[in-house]
């Protein structure tokens, strides 16, 4: 089988890396037809023309439109111009993210209406739509009033060729107990609760926090940190290289997931959780329906109350003081990743499901 991975997606973005790698590991011939996104309608027609030239040269059995915010018009155009089954990796709703999570737009704003219409059309036209959790699928079904049969759950996973498991900690002789967060500062992340948890733990001088990234709530979070005169948090306000993230995970004793109060927090398992468990690190994240689709509290992850700095602080302290629990969660998290979320496993299940639906 030959699959064309198509669109204006970012090839190095985790979601696309995992699916492309997983396809190849399952002996699928993958042809990438990609162009970096640029503003303007001609960008989309250039991509469609590239795809036309490709289809003339070789037989394509399936087109997967890769995950990116700007993929929506491509799904529609591919269905108009080609008679090849189309899988749209929606990954998440741009409409939901900008209207309800980030609150950039009201739902009556012309752009919000455009986003909704595009995504509604894509869910109707695509042969199959991919999302990362069943919770997310349920949300799409309700939001866009589409049959759930259209959707497949595909866990995000992580690149197991770059992210390698680290040795477990054997003793408590660490000078610094490093707690790490990285990611964008969107509302779903709940970064403000991490900073408040850090303040609660400030009396434990060996506990340090490192927070890498920026985004919508960054300045609000920094202001909170300044008002609380927090001394145990290091902010790295920049987008760092992938290797730097790997080094950061290697250094940490505990990795942090997401903690926000938004609806989107309830629907997703973020990239960072997969990446940290792939490196055999214990992770703390909010107790949500989505996270429980893959992980089990106190077995392969430690969950805390959503939007609750005190409970987050208590869970960090518990892992610091309980080496046995910390190592148990780290080891079991890595086993869960290998069995259920490694690229080859994730895509093997996807191929089975696709054969039942369209191939």
Q: What is the pLDDT of residue 279?
A: 97
Q: What tokens appear for 358 in the block?
A: 């369209």
Query: Which residues are bridge partners to 210 per DSSP?
Result: 180, 234
Closest residue by Cα to residue 103 from 187, 30, 21: 187
Three-class SS of residue 74? helix
Question: pLDDT by residue (tens digit) across 179-191?
Answer: 999 999 999 999 9
Q: In what order do the strands lie in the sheet with 128-131?
A: 29-34, 2-7, 62-65, 86-91, 128-131, 151-153
* Model pTM above 0.75: yes
**Which string of b and e fits 141-173 if b means at least 16 CB within 10 Å?**
bebbebeeebbbbbbbbbbbeebebeeebeeee
Q: What tokens appear for 320 in the block?
A: 């610091």
Measured CA angle at 250 (ends 246, 255), to 5 deg: 90
Q: What is the pLDDT of residue 170?
A: 61
Backbone angles phi and psi of 180, in degrees to 5: -120, 135
Tell me the C-alpha distance between 128 and 140, whole Å: 13
The torsion defined by the Cα of 291, 293, 299 and 302, in degrees rounded to 10, comes to: 10
Domain boundaries 2-157+342-357, CATH class: alpha beta
Average pLDDT over residues 154-174: 83
Out of 237-241, 257-261, 267-271, pick the least confident: 237-241
Q: Is the pLDDT of residue 172 over 60?
A: no
Q: Say which residue, 172 or 323, is predicted with more confidence.
A: 323
Q: Is the pLDDT of residue 237 over 60?
A: yes
Distances (CA, A) of 5 to 31, 54, 79, 338: 6, 12, 15, 24
Of all residues in the chain, the percent with pLDDT exceeding 70 is 98
Domain with CATH 3.40.50.2000 in the chain: 2-157+342-357, 177-340
Burial class (CB in 10 A: 0-12, 13-18, 19+), 110: exposed
Q: What tokens appear for 94 in the block?
A: 């741009």
Q: Is the pLDDT of residue 359 over 80?
A: no
Strands 62-65 and 2-7, bridge-based pairing = parallel
Looking at 2.40.50.200, 1.20.120.430, 3.40.50.970, 3.40.50.2000, the CATH number of the domain 177-340 comes to: 3.40.50.2000
Question: pLDDT by residue (tens digit) across 34-85?
Answer: 998 888 889 999 999 999 999 999 999 999 999 998 899 999 999 999 999 9
Q: Is the pLDDT of residue 345 over 70?
A: yes
Q: Is the pLDDT of residue 230 over 80?
A: yes
Reported as a pLDDT band with limits 50, 70 and 90, residue 119 is very high
Q: What is the mean pLDDT of the chain?
A: 94
Question: pLDDT by residue (tens digit) across 296-308?
Answer: 999 999 999 999 9
């Amino acid at each position: 089988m030959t699959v064309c991975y198509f669109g204006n997606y970012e090839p190095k973005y985790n979601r696309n890396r995992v699916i492309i790698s997983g396809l190849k590991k399952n002996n699928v011939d993958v042809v990438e037809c990609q162009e970096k996104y640029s503003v303007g309608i001609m960008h989309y027609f250039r991509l469609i023309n590239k795809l036309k030239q490709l289809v003339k040269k070789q037989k394509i059995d399936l087109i997967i439109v890769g995950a990116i915010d700007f993929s929506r018009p491509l799904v529609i155009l591919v269905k108009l111009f080609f008679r090849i089954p189309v899988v749209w990796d929606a990954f998440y709703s741009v409409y939901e993210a900008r209207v309800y999570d980030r609150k950039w737009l009201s739902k009556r704003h012309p752009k919000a209406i455009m986003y909704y219409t595009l995504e509604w059309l894509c869910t109707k036209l695509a042969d199959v739509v991919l999302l990362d959790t069943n919770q997310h699928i349920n949300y799409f079904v309700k939001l866009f009033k589409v049959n759930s049969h259209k959707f497949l759950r595909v866990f995000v996973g992580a690149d197991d060729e770059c992210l390698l498991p680290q040795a477990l900690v054997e003793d408590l002789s660490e000078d610094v107990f490093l707690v790490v967060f990285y990611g964008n500062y969107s509302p779903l992340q709940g970064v403000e609760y991490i900073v408040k948890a850090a303040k609660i733990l400030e009396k434990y001088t060996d506990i340090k926090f490192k927070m890498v990234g920026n985004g919508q709530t960054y300045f609000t979070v920094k202001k909170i940190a300044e008002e609380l005169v927090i001394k145990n948090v290091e902010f790295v306000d920049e987008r760092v290289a992938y290797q730097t993230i790997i080094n950061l995970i290697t250094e940490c004793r505990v990795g942090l997931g997401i903690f926000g109060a938004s609806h989107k927090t309830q629907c997703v398992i973020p990239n960072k959780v997969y990446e940290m468990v792939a490196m055999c690190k214990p992770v703390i994240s909010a107790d949500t329906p989505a996270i429980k689709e893959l992980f089990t509290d106190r077995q392969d992850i430690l969950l805390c109350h959503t939007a609750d700095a005190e409970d987050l602080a208590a869970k960090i302290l518990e892992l610091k003081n309980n080496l046995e629990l910390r190592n148990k969660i780290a080891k079991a998290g890595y086993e869960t990743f290998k069995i259920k979320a490694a690229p080859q496993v994730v895509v093997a299940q996807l191929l089975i499901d696709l054969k039942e639906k369209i191939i």
